[in-house]
Structure 1
């Protein structure tokens, strides 16, 4: 079994921990997405944040496992390549993650609506997200709008990073 190999302990335990966190994150996102009092754009924001964050977390373990399994990682019976391809397909289904993130970040920076703040605003991850958001809101003001070339060059490449920071 793979757990007998000492070098596999960390990636498997990290993946397991991420699974528990993802399960709780999914519960919170579903509560917000099914709550009738939550506006539609905020529900869509929750879905985008969930998708961007979880797809990113799910891609890493399959890559790590396949690279540490050597040629075995490519064999069909291990299904590692199939799982990775499925994850890539998921990231494209119902809207490409990058496209969804660009739209969400553009709308949030323009303050079209707001997503709930972190439940732990003083945590390092929350402060990182707040810093990214503040920096790019400043960039938006300096660029002269969300359709400018500068916004395209300065903010859009960070869209996925900003959304994942919200998700963390």
Structure 2
């Protein structure tokens, strides 16, 4: 048995990918949300500590009244340098995950248009495809929406968006069109 064929990417937003593999529409989460949040925090730390470090060292360096002890400015710049290094490494991790093959990730959901069923990532049948609809809903703890699949048995969260990774965009409309429309 060979390796599974690489799905064709139809849409991608915030690390969530809608792809097509034959009659199946698969939804893959590249799982970069927490790392994107870390990158954002490290950017803020770099700017704040670097800014305060420069402000404390610059007046003394140009002959004005010192903004504070030099060791403090150097320590602040050292923290900024460490944060910038960690940010660079984290950003490379995000880029590497986004450029990796989809077959290396476990799908969040599989919508089989030929069998007309919605399966979860483990392959268990969740609902008949004609009884599934996709929506964006607000989250209580975030300014970004989440993407859900509404079935007769309840609502399943497909992806919780975060403001640092781009949210879920219009993937609800893309899924509706691709899953319930005619296969290509």
What is the TM-score normalised by the length of structure 1? 0.37
Q: Give the greater-gyration-radius structure (CA).
A: 2
What is the TM-score normalised by the length of structure 2? 0.34
* Structure with higher helix content: 1
* Structure with higher strand content: 2
